[in-house]
């Protein structure tokens, strides 16, 4: 009997190759087996606008060896015309006997229509193979489709005692070069990096990315800071703040309402979602990261921990957003994974 779970894991691995390149489309991988259950082709959605995974895999086959075979894919095949023709139509056309699907596609343009089209053509459809893993793979896509908002991930790097810098703000470097390189790799999976004016002023980071968002209520950052040299920068200021200087073409401005004299994060997320930004990677100090936690807006946390203890009561912590009296008031997250990076570890959590 064919081990569909093992093959679905391969689909997920293939899909991950395009991490950060398919937005706003999902990550999808596909494996094709002949009628004897032998793998004869693989494919994945390489980047937005390119062929979908099913098409990528099937069009590599020229001699009809897929006829009466099986196609395994982590997401329901599309049934509508977009950048490419419907994958469900191609699957029917190529004479597959069985289609194995990880999870359904809740996009209103699909939402069961792909499965229905396959069944109407007489194809056996098996659903729900590693469904949780397949949904986790496309957490950004499903947040967009189901909740109509950006997915928010926070990245922080601390000592064992949870400090991000000393009492005078020294923070270079808490974690190892290996951890820092991995942190930069994580950025690629998200549409935009979001940071605070405090981080820009204290660290003058480059944070090279396709979109950088800077929260600067009173516009106190220096326009010559490194981060403003990136390809596209969105400067978020208070609704009453005025900018008299002319800004370079790569910088656009959002005026945002305030809450407790800070940028209202819920309003901010609505505004950037209107711009087509589906996910943000927050790299900032304890005040902004803590505010995202306080407002229940952080979907995921990447917590790098170095084997160092600052042992300083005045050292700055990674989350400073609330005043809590009881443990029962804690925000609850669930453990996703633990990864060793040299002597450091990366603990990944998701909202519980």
- The residue behind tokens 């596609």 is 105
Among residues 338, 336, 252, the alpha carbon closest in space to that of 300 is found at 336
Is 136 marked active-site? no
The answer to whether the bond into 24 is cis (omega within 30° of 0) is yes
Q: Phi/psi zone of residue 67: left (φ > 0), alpha (ψ -120 to 50 degrees), beta?
A: beta
CA distance 26 to 46: 11
Selected catalytic residue, list 54, 66, 76, 283: 54
CA distance 164 to 107: 40
| Residue 47, CA distances (Å) to 18, 25, 138, 190, 204 in order | 6, 8, 14, 14, 32
CA distance 286 to 181: 21
Name beta bridge partners: 71: 32, 99
Which of the residues are catalytic?
A: 54
């Amino acid at each position: 009997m064919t081990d569909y779970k093992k093959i679905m894991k391969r689909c997920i691995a293939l899909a991950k190759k395009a991490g950060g390149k398919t937005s706003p489309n999902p990550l999808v991988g596909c494996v094709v087996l002949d009628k004897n259950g032998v793998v004869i082709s693989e494919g994945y959605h390489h980047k937005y606008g390119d062929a979908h995974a099913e098409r990528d895999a099937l069009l590599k086959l020229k001699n009809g060896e897929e006829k009466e075979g099986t196609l395994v894919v982590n997401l329901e095949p599309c049934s509508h015309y977009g950048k490419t023709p419907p994958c469900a139509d191609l699957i029917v056309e190529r004479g597959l006997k069985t289609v194995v699907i990880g999870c359904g596609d809740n996009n209103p343009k699909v939402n069961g229509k792909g499965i229905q089209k396959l069944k109407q053509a007489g194809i056996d459809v098996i659903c729900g193979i590693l469904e949780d893993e397949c949904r986790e793979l496309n957490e950004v896509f499903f947040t967009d489709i189901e909740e109509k908002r950006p997915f928010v991930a926070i990245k922080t790097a601390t000592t064992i005692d949870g400090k991000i810098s000393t009492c005078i703000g020294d923070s270079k470097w808490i974690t190892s070069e290996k951890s820092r390189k991995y942190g930069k790799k994580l950025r690629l999976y998200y549409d935009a990096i979001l940071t605070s004016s405090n981080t820009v002023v204290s660290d003058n980071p480059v944070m090279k990315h396709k979109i950088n968002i800077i929260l600067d209520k009173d516009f106190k950052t220096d326009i010559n800071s490194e981060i403003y040299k990136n390809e596209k920068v969105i400067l978020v200021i208070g609704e009453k703040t005025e900018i008299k200087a002319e800004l370079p073409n790569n910088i656009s401005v959002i005026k945002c309402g305030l809450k407790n004299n800070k940028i209202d994060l819920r309003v901010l997320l609505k505004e950037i979602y209107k711009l087509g930004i589906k996910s943000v990677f927050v790299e900032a100090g304890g005040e902004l990261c803590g505010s995202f936690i306080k407002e229940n807006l952080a979907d995921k946390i990447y917590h790098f921990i170095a084997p160092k203890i600052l042992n300083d009561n005045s050292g700055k912590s990674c989350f400073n957003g609330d005043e809590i009296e009881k443990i029962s008031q804690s925000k609850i997250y669930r453990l996703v994974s633990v990864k060793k990076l040299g002597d450091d570890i990366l603990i990944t959590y998701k909202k519980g």
